[in-house]
Amino acid sequence: METVALAEVAAVLADPSRATMCLALLDGRAWTVGELAAAARIAVSTASEHVTRLAEAGFVARVKQGRHAYVRLANPRVAELIEHLAQHAELKTPSGLRTSLRARRLSFARSCYDHLAGTLGVALRDGMADRGLIDVSDGLALTGTGRDVLADLGVAVPDRPRRPLLRDCLDWTERREHLAGAVPAAVLERALEAGWLTRDEHRAVRVLPGARGPFAALGVDLATVSAAKAS
């Protein structure tokens, strides 16, 4: 990404079909070209050409598994770029009840590639800091207490991650930081796996009844967070 000129980045995302495909890939999954074509409502051959352009610009990577080929965002940095650029579309005044509800759900809780964003994501950062699970006094660091709590919840913290365990990411709806990095990615993975959270096709994350206890252990009172967002 560092070698791609700013004008080239803008040109890559200026095409509505490519932008739609990138937004779809923000859910962190690997998609087939056919699935991306359906999401963008274009022919598979056209989608394949767009994937080639995105790959050449460093936005996506192709992954082969057996006879199947998949496409995913190249890395978390690309995801954050797409997430921040999306604000120029998603922060427009919603028109229609369905669009308005979707905008509110995305604002409350959504997945940004592989971690939580929105009100819930910011609350997770605040809660973990208040409970002493992370140390924010000099950068971001996972504390011993934090490791113990995460282990009790079944969250697998990688021993040798290929990226930082914790990093701040400015949330475009809250205008405050939520957590990115290997630890929040592991938290979201565990939450989805355990049925504490679920997410829809638009990246909105829904909180399920089983989330109350685990999130309380992480310093988040879900009832308070939901009430504050609704007020």
Number of domains in the chain: 2
Residue 68 has pLDDT above 80, yes or no: no
Whether residue 66 is found in the same domain as residue 83: no
pTM score of the predicted model? 0.71
Average confidence (pLDDT) over 65-71: 81
The Cα 85–Cα 114 span in angstroms is 17
Residue scoring higher pLDDT (11 or 66): 11
Q: Across residues 151-168, what is the average pLDDT?
A: 90
**Domain membership flag for residue 1:** no
Give the residue from 53, 74, 95 where a domain finishes: 74
pLDDT band with cut points at 50, 70 and 90 for residue 211: very high
Burial class (CB in 10 A: 0-12, 13-18, 19+), 81: middle
In a domain, 220, yes or no: yes
What pLDDT sits at residue 28? Answer: 75
Q: Is residue 178 part of a domain?
A: yes
Structural domain range at position 27: 6-74
Q: How many Å apart are CA 122 and CA 169, to the nearest integer? A: 10
Looking at the structure, do residues 100 and 175 belong to the same domain, yes or no? Answer: yes
Shared-domain flag, residues 91 and 147 = yes
What average pLDDT is seen over the chain? 85
